[in-house]
Amino acid sequence: MIAEDLLKICCERSGTMRKCLADSEITLDEFIFRQAEKVRKNRELVPLVDPEDFYARVEEFAGKRLGSEKAKSVADAVRLGTVLTADHHGGIFCSQTFQSDLLYGEIINSLGNKTGMIPIMSGGQVELDNSTYARGICVQTTKSRKEKLPFFSSRPAAKTAYSAQAIDGEMIGRFRTILRDSEFPENDKKEISELVKAVYESDEVLSAKAFEDQVTKIGAVLSEKLFGKNGPILVFLEAERLNVPLIAKEIRERKTPLAKLFSDERAVALMQEEKLSDGAPITDILFKTPDKKGRKVNLRLTNDRRLVGTDWEGNELSFAADPDSISELLTEGKLIPGFFLIACTCFFERGITWMGGVFQTEYLPEWQRSFANLLEKLGMKDEALAVGKYDCSAYVCGPMFALYGNEDYANTAGPVEFWMKKPEYETIRGMIRGTNIRDAHLIGLSEMYMDLTHPDERPDGWYETLGRELRKSFPGNVL
């Protein structure tokens, strides 16, 4: 079976995959319970910083996009002590993140969520041409390959979601032209066109000023159209803009452990010495800046307290890196906090468990160790000990449970496929309950295989062959 061959390759290349499959026969219900238990244990710890400011920020952020009533419910859901961090603004496009969003909903339900909200802290500093981004709707309903129908132009391909303009009527018109000229069956074209009209052309979405605002609105409108008024609502909150006010305030006021990294004279040298597994020092992953075309430029912190980098045209960039300057530059949007800083302020200081993808189970504990090491060397031994106690192994993105196809093949189902079938939510829960963790990784194998291999390595026809095997092996998981 090609599925077993591809899974073997993935496990050979990723220790994360091997660990995730260690308990391969447990059901997704048991998997959900185990992830929720990690959150419960983390909630028993006393955070270094009171998380109330984070909950208030979530409510404020969601309120501007969804209204005060829904915003309060979003904040109440986050008060359960966890956020989903597996998305690159991708749940509304990509089958892998869309299904992980629904799995996460079951996790927080088991923690006592009564709101129906599924809060997702999506990443804005991911390029629009990311494999799970697709510059628009990601469709997997063809036999031989993953089809992508873009809203955004391919130029500049490296523009980030953080900097993307709002989807407008002209972009939707171009999308419809691409759809019209595609090789999709006419009925599929009709369904996709109706999805675009109901969601992307809704007044709520088209009235938004920027793409990151639209993402939150798209998730809410799509959820209501798919699941009805009593179903869950996917709430996408861009991580960078959500957390910037908290990070800027901490650095400016110089009171928290994170602020020590920028106010202590010894910190720069210590961060340069603190290397990650790829050999990069912590000083290289603190901040980025957007260029005029919305492309991110990596910055590094130097001994003379400057943030320096080289833009896409080869120009040298330099910013002052004293606490007041950093705080101001963050507030002005000239600096983008790296995900290491967001993890420090949201998880390691405030105790909000991150529930991410399978690869997060590798890099998040590494960041945790680095932050704890830095605090200890800066004389904050109690704080370092507190940071090190959190369980950072929770994950949700990787396993999948729903397929879509016909009698010959089936591939993973994303928002478009769910739109076409509009299953009852209990049907979705039934698929989750009836799938074990190994099968869930097999169902989502195409995504992991493409993440871990180069196109030139993949055998001809692997996607079509895998689709045939999945249709035969998992008939009960087809929408």
Mean pLDDT, range 391-402, rounded to an integer:
93
Mean pLDDT, range 297-313, rounded to an integer:
95
**How far is the first Cα of the chain from the last one, in angstroms, to the nearest whole number?**
23
In a domain, residue 310? The reply is no
Residues in the chain: 479
Q: How far apart are CA 135 and CA 377, in angstroms?
A: 43
In this prediction, residue 16 carries a pLDDT of: 78
Residue with tokens 């449970």: 401
Chain segment 194-253, per-residue pLDDT in tens: 999 999 999 999 999 999 999 999 999 999 999 988 889 999 999 999 999 999 999 999
Query: Tokens representing 128?
Result: 């629009």
Q: Left, alpha or beta for 333 (phi > 0: left; psi -120 to 50: alpha)?
A: left
In this prediction, residue 348 carries a pLDDT of: 98
> 470 pLDDT band (50/70/90 cuts)?
very high
Residue range of the domain that includes 78: 2-239+396-477
Burial 420-459 (b: 16+ CB within 10 A, else e): beebeeeebbebbeebbbbbbbbbbbbbbbbbbeeeeeee
In a domain, residue 160? The reply is yes
Residues β-bridged to residue 412: 403
CA distances from 122 to 66, 98, 330, 339, 454 (A): 16, 12, 18, 11, 26
Q: Residue 242 carries which side chain, given as an amino acid letter?
A: L
Chain segment 33-66, per-residue pLDDT in tens: 999 999 999 999 999 999 999 999 999 999 999 9
Say if CB 392 and CB 365 are below 8 A apart.
yes
Residue with tokens 């000083």: 283
User: Can you state the angle between helices 462-473 and 2-13, rounded to 10 degrees?
Assistant: 110
Residue with tokens 């993973």: 412
* Phi and psi at residue 46, to the nearest 5°: -90, 115
Say how many domains are in the chain: 1
Q: How far apart are CA 91 and CA 236, in angstroms?
A: 9
Between strands 233-238 and 403-405, the pairing is unpaired
Say if CB 403 and CB 421 are below 8 A apart.
no
Say if CB 344 and CB 258 are below 8 A apart.
yes
In a domain, residue 224? The reply is yes
CA dihedral 424, 429, 434, 435 (to 10 degrees): 110
Residue 459 has what DSSP assignment?
P
Say if CB 240 and CB 290 are below 8 A apart.
no
Sign of the CA dihedral running 432, 434, 436, 440: negative
Q: How far apart are CA 357 and CA 458, in angstroms?
A: 23
Say if CB 118 and CB 77 are below 8 A apart.
yes
Strand order in the sheet with 300-301: 300-301, 306-310, 316-320
In a domain, residue 155? The reply is yes
Is residue 399's pLDDT more than 70?
yes
Chain segment 60-70, per-residue pLDDT in tens: 999 999 999 99
Q: Which residue has the higher pLDDT, 347 or 293?
A: 347
Is residue 357's pLDDT more than 90?
no
Computed over its alpha carbons, how large is the radius of gyration of the chain?
22
Q: How far apart are CA 443 and CA 437, in angstroms?
A: 10
In a domain, residue 260? The reply is no
Is residue 413's pLDDT more than 70?
yes
Say if CB 247 and CB 333 are below 8 A apart.
no
> 134 pLDDT band (50/70/90 cuts)?
low
In a domain, residue 304? The reply is no
**3-class state of residue 275 by DSSP:** strand
In a domain, residue 55? The reply is yes
- What contacts 61, CB < 8 A, 6 or more positions away? 71, 237, 241, 242
pTM of the model: 0.94
Is residue 90's pLDDT more than 90?
no
Residue 200 has what DSSP assignment?
I
Q: How far apart are CA 149 and CA 299, in angstroms?
A: 33
Q: Is the peptide bond prior to 156 cis by the omega test (within 30 degrees of 0)? A: yes
Residue with tokens 């999945």: 470
Chain segment 269-296, per-residue pLDDT in tens: 999 999 999 999 999 999 999 998 899 9
In a domain, residue 418? The reply is yes
The mean predicted confidence, pLDDT, of the chain is 93
